[in-house]
Amino acid sequence: MRINERVDRIPLSQTLALDARAKEFVAAGRDVVNMTAGEPDFDSPLQVREAAKATIDGGRVRYTPAPGRLQLRQAIADYLSRTRGVPYTPQEVTVCHSGKHALSGVLLSLVHEGDEVLLLAPAWVSYVEQVRFAEGTPVLVPPRPDMGVDFDALEAAIGPRTRGLMLNSPNNPSGYVCTADELARLADFARRHDLWVLSDEIYGRLVYDDEPYRSLVQQGDDARARTVIVDGASKTWSMTGYRIGFLAGPPNLAAAVGRLHSQLAGAPNAVGQEAFEAALTSEAPEIEGMLKAFDERRRRIVQGLREIGLRTPFPGGAFYVFPAIDEVWPGGDSAAFCEALLEQEGVAAVPGSAFGVEGHVRFSYATSMEQIEKGLERLGRFLSVRKG
């Protein structure tokens, strides 16, 4: 069969491909330290699991409205109002099959053929492909060395067809968290160039330095009106397999994505919706423990990487570190680095090139402290063999 060109151009997600590669090594009997994980290694909170079981046992497993149950959209609006400090209504919310599904729904609804969309690099692997699939042109904007926003590069990237900006703070893969000053400047930038902003806040709760919740929507009425938030159940509540995400933005956009999904996919799964509602309605006590564990691992892995000699920006959020390898790996080819590291030491990591930034590698610390120690030890050996 002949595959449609737009679909045929889509490569398999590099992170999923790498994870599969690491699993092949494991199947072949190798002892692999897998540091590619994009999901928390914790159980979902008890209240989530109980709600999921009660939904099934109660037989509430039929179709729901395509944009999600009204009760859940209300719970999401209340959650956003509470965490972002800006009021939201259910009419501004559409529930989707995942955060990824919410992102693609927004892009398919906002991007017109030939529109340029600025992506602040490093940018999560799916952004480029999703913008392309929506018939837009992704424009990667390089970061500062500390992975913060380079405003000169951002201004230089503006062209006559620029219509949108995608922002992801805390960032995957760097863990960088935008400062209040950066958000104020981004709001000003979007206003001056009349851009919509897609703010991927899926790691918004995973911050470790007692920072308040920061979102672009807090930067005044203009920023609020031109920003679409995407968030979901996967990371904060360790619910990756439940597949529930959402968008919050102008009512006409929320409705458009709801219509699109009503034809393409139908309602998100009923069990996931009720489970997520239970997650939002009262703070799960498990979250505090998860944040504490992530924070300890973050400090340990940054210290370990720096001791080995890798220049490592200190990440404020998410569960990734993104050290530079250019000083230890001539040419900085991150894919070759990851290939050799997996081959020689059985440590799996994701090359920065997958996120549009060469000379860096992403290590996930969504794995046990024992695995982190083992990974650091092997990485140290890998680099010392090269030096020697």
Choice from 245, 272, 351, 359 touching ligand PLP (CB under 6 A): 245
Task: Indicate the residue among 177 and 376 with the shorter CB distance to ligand PLP.
Answer: 177
- Give the residue closest to ligand PLP by C-beta: 99
Nearer to ligand PLP, 34 or 240 (CB): 240
Tokens of 95: 């529930």
Q: Tell whether residue 169 is a contact of ligand PLP (CB under 6 A).
A: no
Cα three-residue angle 243-124-225, rounded to 5 degrees: 80
Do you know the residue count of the chain? 388
When binding is defined by CB under 6 A, the residue of 44, 64, 168, 364 that contacts ligand PLP is 168
Distances (CA, A) of 177 to 174, 214, 221, 320, 325: 9, 9, 22, 12, 21
d(CA 358, CA 102): 28
Residue 49 beta carbon to ligand PLP: minimum distance, rounded to whole angstroms: 18
Residue span binding ligand PLP (CB under 6 A) among the ranges 49-57, 94-102, 179-187, 300-308: 94-102
Is residue 312 near ligand PLP by the rule CB under 6 A?
Answer: no
The C-alpha R_g of the chain, in whole angstroms, comes to 21
Interface of this chain with ligand PLP, residues 197 to 236, rule: CB under 6 A: 200, 202, 232, 234
Least Å from the CB of residue 132 to ligand PLP: 17
CB of 122 to ligand PLP, least distance (A): 10
# chain residues binding ligand PLP, by CB under 6 A: 13
Q: What's the burial of 21, exposed, middle or buried (CB within 10 Å: 0-12/13-18/19+)?
A: middle
Give the one residue of 34, 64, 94, 98 binding ligand PLP; rule: CB under 6 A: 98
- Binding to ligand PLP, residues 111-140 (CB under 6 A): 124
Options 100, 261, 362, 374; binder of ligand PLP; rule CB under 6 A: 100
Is 172 among the residues that bind ligand PLP (CB under 6 A)? yes
291 versus 336: smaller Cβ distance to ligand PLP: 291
Q: Is 145 exposed, middle or buried (0-12, 13-18, 19+ CB in 10 A)?
A: exposed
Q: By the criterion CB under 6 A, which residues form the site for ligand PLP? A: 38, 98-100, 124, 168, 172, 200, 202, 232, 234, 240, 245
